[in-house]
Every structure is written in C-alpha cells, then in structure tokens.
Structure 1
Amino acid sequence: MTRQHVTAQAPGKINCYFRVGPPRADGYHDVASLYVAVSLFEEVEATLRGDGELQLRLDESSTVVGEPETFPLGPSNLVYQAADLLREHTGTTLGADLNIIKRVPIAGGMGGGSADAAATLVACNELWQTGLDREELGRLGSRLGADVPFALMGGAAIGLGVGDKLAPLLTRAQTDWVLIPASYGLSTPRVYAMLDRLRAGQPVDVPQEVDPQVIKALMSSDAEMLASVLVNDLTQASLALAPELGTVRDLAEGAGALRAMVSGSGPTLALLVRDADHGTEVMAQLGDEVGVATLAVTAPAPGARVVHSE
C-alpha cells in the first residue's frame, strides 16, 4: 500500500581529513576522507501524485546561506534526479510533489545536494513502497554523487576511491563544531580544477588511507588532538578562489576556536571547539566583534531517515 505523504531528513557533513590525489583519466580524483555527519539536516517532504509527474519546490522556511540561483527546481536538481532514478530502477509510474527545506549552505562544501538526494531516495522509497533496502539505496545513490552514500549512512566513515568506498566507524563519541557559512558558494569542480593548477608539475601521490591519528582522535572525542591533525587538501584551492576565507579563518582562531578549517570544497568554515559551552563563547565573540553568522552543530549525526509517514 502506497503512502500519501512522507518526510525524510539527511545530514550535512564535514571532512575531518581530506587528501586528494592527481586527476584521473575520467576527470575524477582519488581521495582519502574521514567523513562526519553533523546535526544540520536537509528535509524533503514527498506527497503522492498519481499522474507520474515530479514537481519540486524550495520551502520558504529554508534557512539557506548561499546562492539560491544555484538551486534550480528542475531535472538538473539532485532531488529530481534521485526520484527519477528510483522510478527508473523500480519501474513505478507514480509521481510526487517534493518540497525541499534547505538548511545546509548551497555550494558550501558540506554535501547539501547529496543530503537532498539521500533524503529523496529514502522518502520516495517509503512513499511509493518500492521496498529497496539501505544497501540498494546506497548503490543508487553512488550513481548520483560520491557523497550520497555517506548521507544515507550518516555517523562517521572512512571514504576511499572517489569517496564512495565507505567503511563506517562505529563511534558515538561527540565532537562540537561551529559553522561559519559564507554569503556565496564555490563550485566543487572549480575548486578541484584550481587545486590541479596549483599543483601542476608537482608529484602527487594517490592517497591510500586516512591518518590513524585522526581516527583515534575522533573515536576518543579528543578535541585538542583532533585539532592538531585536521587536514584538507582543498584548502589552498578554496583560498585561492576566495582569499577572504583566510581572514575569517584567522579571526575564528583568534576568537578561541581550537582549529578553523574549510569544510570540503568550501566556502563554509568549520570551527572545532572543546564542547558546547566553548562553542557558545566562540560564537558570542565572533558575533560581537566580527559580526559573522554562526551555527552550532554536533557530530556524529544519523544518516537519512523517515521522520514522518502517513
């Protein structure tokens, strides 16, 4: 029996460790990543349509910081592509109105588009009663983007290959972060292209593993240790494209953050703090002295899941 209305959520992510290899023949890059899902969730509300149409809408309650024009409401959107791929794979002829509540910055380096796709797969699988399990949804998700399987999984995980070969880390050890979203986005392909230009002529190894010290620090919730081993190879490219990020990063560390790093391909900055109280102090200082917007989040957070069904 089909449902009439299903709501699903999926988390944004931070890369605590991100090493990038040279460009491959297919244009992608091998990476070694340590993903952590954070408590900032995208939400997709799917309402049944019997005419087979897919209609997308960006909810007015969305708290997006970024460039809304980079979020087209048509076939180029990952929400549309995820629902369409699920229909194609399962043979269903049903449709859906898909209302998207965005909280993860658009083009912000936190996997918001991948979270949208993951939430859509989970919502429509329940709405249409297509019966796919998590493993099958993960395989479909990998066809939409390397970060989609992790958004389905949540928690923390090592990612190899292009980031889609995932090994979950079974930890509940909490880390606290403060996010500084930017008022603009950075195109991920553009950031990678800049990294390739900056490293032109230099020998670049293919990353094979995540630094065990990063894993140890995350698993033990040792914020001080984790701050000392955070790595993101895309930082230099992000700063080359948006030099002001370096200034804000320095201000954040001056305000007491243990470490301020570019999240993924940027331009969102992720500030590691000791605990929630420390995060509140850092946020207050940044708000009072610098006037930047901040968000407090924790990790790990659960992966894509249905939160309402009727």
Structure 2
Amino acid sequence: MSGSLAAGEDRPRPGRAAVRAAARAVLARAAHPVLLLAVVAVFAATVRRGWPPGPVTFAFQFATLCYLAGLERLIPYERSWRPSRREWRWYGVYYLLTTLGGSTGQTAVLLAAGAVAPERPLLPLAAEMPLALLLGSLASYAIHRLGHTNPWLWRLHGVHHVPDKVNVGNNGVNHVLDVFVSQACAQLPLALIGFSERAVFGVGLFVIAQGYFVHANVAVRLGLLNHVLAGPEQHRLHHSTDLAEAGHYGSDLSVWDRAFGSFTWHPGREPAEVGLLRPESFPATGAIGATLVHPWRMPAKTGETAG
C-alpha cells in the first residue's frame, strides 16, 4: 500500500491553469445545450401547470440574460468587449425599452393566437411547433434583412449596430419601434395562420434563447450545427464593418441564410472590427433621447446599410 501511495505521490498533478482550461472547455460545450434544455423545461412546466405565458416569457428572458452574462465572465470570446459599469447603465435603459416593445408585440401575438386559434389544433404539437418555428424564422429573417436594405427601417434597426462590441448586454440596444415591428411581423403571422397558443409560446421561448445566445460574447463554437442553428460565430460577422461578410440575418436558424445566399461563415472566419461603417450617421449609444427621435430627424439615404 505504501508503495502505491508513493507512486501516486510521484504522479504530476495538473496545475491550476490546466484545471481552469479544462473547466472552461466543459462550460463552452455545455453552455448551449443547457440553454436549450431550459427552453424545453420552462415550456413543459408552463403547459403542465397552466402558468400565464406573458410573465413566464419575461422571467425567462431575464434569466437568459443573467445566465449568458455570467458565462461572458467565465468564457469570454473577447475580453475587451466586456461592458463597463457605465455601459451597463445604458444597456439597462435599453433593456427596459426593448422589453416594452417586445412584450407589447408578444401580447398582441398571444391575443391574436387566442382569438383565431381553432378549438382543436390542426396538427399535433410535435408537428405544429417545428412548422411554426420554420415559418416564424423565415418571417424574422425577412424583416431583419429589410431592416438593412430599406432606408427607413434601417434608421430604426441601425441603432442596434452602433456599439463597437458584441455582448449579451447590448443585445437590448434597439429602437423600441424596431423591436415592436420585428416581434409582431415575425410571430403575428403564426397566430393568424391558426397555430395554437402553446406552439406560438414555445417558439417564442426558443427565439428569445437563441436571440440572446447569438449575441453573447462567449467562446462557444457550434461546429456543424452552424449550418442549421444561428450562433455567436455567425452573428459576430453580422456586426462586421466589412459588408462583404456581414450577412447572417437569422438569429434563431441559419437555414434561411443558406437558402438566400447570406451565409458567410466558415471555420476560423472572424470579423476584424464590428460596429457601423459610418459611426457618425447615428447618435452614440449613451445618447438615448437622441436615439429615440433619430429616425424622424435623419433623412433617408438610398443604399445605406449596416456596417
């Protein structure tokens, strides 16, 4: 026994750096699956217990933000992209505005779903939800792409591209009308088509999780799943100042980027710089009042797109 102990003592022990690296690798692999499991768990619990979808959606959104903000501290992609305390204060105001716009749009969608949904769903939930996800993702892709090509919509959506860093906090840096329009246009068709309220709610949870995940400053790689799901690697390219690589309008699925030629990611491709090609064309993120009135002050410029 003493011989075996001595042999064990002679074995080199991994240093703290190696242990931390291994822990970060585990976190990077588990981060996205844990988030998707949370979507399933919250959806199942809400349906089973009859919880009201509105408050559950708000709580899930906030919990997702906190979860990813924690991961940004542990497995950051770019340390210089961490928000300062001042930026967190700005992001907090934008988060409230985004929540206002998003919850208003979501409420309209759920009310419409409750009003027009058939008494009995046309399809089983297991078939209804994938179809609702595909159609909702297509609508979201279309309105997002229009936000980059239509001059007036760009004056709304361009607010989101002002920051020169990409993190989960500034995912909420949006014009409140942009959030409302995007939310309503992406999910209202699902309600009007006749998808059940449960299907619309479940898809909404997935979209929230993916929307915050792709914007997170985390060193997570999806590998081959990048060709099906949107991820941080793709969305960082979307924020690139190089318009040749700034595609990726899907924030939940990447299949529509594939279908419509806006998929630019390949392994190892990273943006050299993120933000606006012409930063002077929008107010600074901290100028919240100027940002809110900006769409009505700046004349539309044909061909102006995100950078």
TM-score (norm 2): 0.26
Higher share in helix: 2
Higher share in strand: 1
Determine which structure has greater relative contact order: mean sequence separation of CA pairs < 8 Å that are 6+ residues apart, divided by chain length.
1
TM-score (norm 1): 0.25
Higher Rg: 2
